[in-house]
Amino acid sequence: MSAFLRFVVMQTLDGNAARIKTYTVALDALGKPATFDPQTDPSVRVLAKRLRDTLSHYYTCTNDHKVLIVLKAGSYVPSFKIPEKEQETPVT
């Protein structure tokens, strides 16, 4: 999952988000052979789902994030969000 996440984040930050497709993730991030067929091999989709679930769980369990990485279902292109901090109520 770390290779997948690193690849999609770096490609996005480098301005290559349009290049992030199942095939390129499989070859460039996961080391699959050029014969990889996304129609018959769901490994990239399965890994993306696991990554989404892991990120969601991580962000739910911890609260000290400066930036959230969001991978919406149906896309491998991440978006970056700054979390809203809860307003602190002054103690009187």
What pLDDT score does 64 carry? 83
CA distances from 47 to 14, 63, 92 (A): 23, 25, 49
Confidence of residue 4 (pLDDT cuts 50, 70, 90): very high
Rama region for 74: left / alpha / beta (φ>0; ψ in -120 to 50; rest): left
Q: In degrees to the nearest 10, what's the CA dihedral of 26, 13, 69, 79?
A: -90
Q: Whole-model pTM? A: 0.84
Host H or E run for residue 58: helix 43-61
The predicted-structure confidence for 65-83, as pLDDT tens digits, reads as follows 889 999 999 999 999 999 8
Calculate the average pLDDT of the chain. Answer: 91
Compute the distance between CA of residue 59 and CA of residue 61 in angstroms, rounded to an integer.
Answer: 6
- DSSP-derived letter for residue 32 is -
